Amino acid sequence: MASPPPRPDYPRYRVDAGTPVRLADVRTDETEGYGSKRDVKDELSAQRKRIAELQPRLYAEQRQSLLIVLQAMDTGGKDGAIKHVFRGVNPQGCRVWSFKAPSAEERAHDFLWRYHRRAPARGMITIFNRSHYEDVLVVRVKGLVPEAVWRARYDAICDFERSLAREGVVVLKFFLHISKEEQKRRLQARLDDPAKHWKFSSNDLEERGYWDDYQRAFEDALSATSTEHAPWYVVPADKKWFRNLVIARTIADTLEAMAPQFPPAEQGLERVVVPD
């Protein structure tokens, strides 16, 4: 078995392998004592700078890659996290993929096919905004496939992520944990602001009715698929600014533990003179 990829010793929000998760016991409003967005401004900026400095090394090295998975309840903040954490990152070395309902071509393949196609190439950072976990979440809650099908997918997902790790892909998975009350506030804010109406769908209210079912589905998925090779982090996400800090800090620490290096320079460059 391949050894686990390098990771920082940062267990506060990490789900250890084999640990059952009960989301009701995890605070959504944790801030580690920070009081406001202003209090984390400098540290968040420092973490983004670390990511921006390490990314070119990863890209140039062409040996490892990083896959970041973001999952959440509706309004959990996946888009906002991407926008605020990856500010300053060179888009040449970073890709974001969002997965909607599968197309006819995708349905004709196994459920992991469309995700494997988007896994990061060596040197790249890839972000999955929703991911292969939809196939053990929404399909379970909506009864789209029998339990025997979605439950067997836990093992398939672990095997998939382990195979990525063997190929040098470091997998980080974040569940952005918000309260039901915070979701209500965010949905209402979209209704109250005409500039945000495009973000609102009546389907959001229907999905909210499945809150408890989704919580149970997430708990089972997090418990069954957090491994040494691909750990889950349950991020307190009621405060958007704290959510961003935790994600940025974890990504920066992980990149640093990966220790990407610029490749050695061509020999003899000290004697090269650029001609007129």
pLDDT tens track for 64-103:
999 999 999 999 999 999 999 999 899 999 999 999 889 9
Q: What is the mean pLDDT of the chain?
A: 93
> Does 6 have pLDDT greater than 80?
no
pLDDT score of 1: 40
Whether 48 maps to a domain, the answer reads: yes
**42-46, 174-178, 248-252, 262-266, range with the lowest pLDDT:** 262-266
Token pair belonging to 71: 């999952």
Collapsing DSSP states into helix, strand and coil, what is residue 244?
helix
Of 105, 123, 122, which is closest to residue 114 (Cα–Cα)? 105
pLDDT band with cut points at 50, 70 and 90 for residue 204 = confident
> Does 202 have pLDDT greater than 50?
yes
What CATH number is associated with residue 171? 3.40.50.300
Whether 95 maps to a domain, the answer reads: yes
Whether 72 maps to a domain, the answer reads: yes
pLDDT score of 2: 45
Whether 236 maps to a domain, the answer reads: yes
**3-7, 53-57, 223-227, range with the lowest pLDDT:** 3-7
* 4-14: burial string, b at 16+ Cβ within 10 Å, e else: ebebeeeeebb
pLDDT band with cut points at 50, 70 and 90 for residue 11 = low
> Does 123 have pLDDT greater than 90?
yes
Whether 80 maps to a domain, the answer reads: yes
Strands 14-15 and 94-98: unpaired
> Does 247 have pLDDT greater than 50?
yes
Collapsing DSSP states into helix, strand and coil, what is residue 240?
helix
Residue 143 CB burial class (10 angstroms; 0-12, 13-18, ≥19) = exposed
The span from the CA of 222 to the CA of 219, in Å, is 5
Whether 178 maps to a domain, the answer reads: yes
Q: Which domain holds residue 117?
A: 17-259
> Does 173 have pLDDT greater than 70?
yes
Whether 268 maps to a domain, the answer reads: no
Whether 2 maps to a domain, the answer reads: no
Tally of domains within the chain: 1
